[in-house]
A and B are shown apart, each in its own frame.
Chain A
């Protein structure tokens, strides 16, 4: 099971409201390369992993991704808190306001609802790890795109933190890939042909 800890993984203290930036950051909440997709991807894949290392790593990175969902929620919440209808209009977000008001709905900046079509979980563990390596890279690139859109140090700090985490996760998945490829190789290499037992038992 999971236990909630009443603490953010990294501090988020935003002083200046910025609806346009909040809107862009929605991609890391409910968008295609976002944290919610990452958490669901790893926590789904962990179940049918073949080794304890792979179950453990997917479980633990998936859990850290849940903490990242919360960091993204904190950033969006603090960037939009107490915004007036006029501020939504000024940011060109009257459409968002009309549907959701201040509610932080898991969607992309374009208002597309979050979907598990962003993730996959096939039976082949190695194929899954290649997907995860790509996902970490795309998330890193997304953070760089977001960092290109702001000058506010209160936003830059947590976004840079989250971007760096993608690099660490990439490295860990890479190490796991090596382990799983070896595991697969050993399984095929040391598979004793059935015929051997049949002849031996004669």
Chain B
């Protein structure tokens, strides 16, 4: 299903899940043995990894420094037609 999403929608889903991960991370920092929170964190992480992998393969790496899959004959991280996050949504 995620294969059908536009780039913007895919990014939005990543932002939504990634935010849940941040929120659960902070909760777990002060509640490190909360079983339900731990379980939810694992669930979010699994979904997020799937979405990010999908994004990386289609649009280039979200992470530099050896942390994400790259392909092709150009370092897409700095492709001139790519927007950086602060420049507004990735509407193409």
Contacts and interface: CB of A to CB of B under 8 A. Distances in A.
A169 B22 CA distance: 12
Task: Find the residue from A4, A64, A176 having the highest chain B CB count within 10 A.
Answer: A4
Nearest to B26: A172
A137 interface: no
14 contacts: A3-B63, A6-B61, A6-B77, A6-B85, A7-B15, A9-B19, A12-B86, A53-B30, A74-B88, A77-B86, A77-B87, A78-B87, A175-B30, A175-B31
Interface string B22-44: 11011101111000000000000
B67 A176 contact: no
Contacts of A13: 88-89
A183 to B, nearest CB: 13
A57 B29 contact: yes
A70 B87 CA distance: 11
A89 interface: no
B30 A74 contact: no
Interface in A66-97: 70, 73-74, 77-78
Interface residues on B, range: 20 to 34
Contacts of B22: 9, 60, 64
Interface residues of A, number: 29
Given A3-B67, A53-B32, A11 B89 contact: yes
Contact of A10 (B14, B19, B61, B65): B19
A9 B27 CA distance: 18
Nearest to B14: A7
A8 B67 contact: no
A6 B67 CA distance: 12
B64 interface: yes
B26 A78 contact: no
Interface string A30-67: 00000000000000000000000100110011001000
B29 A70 contact: no
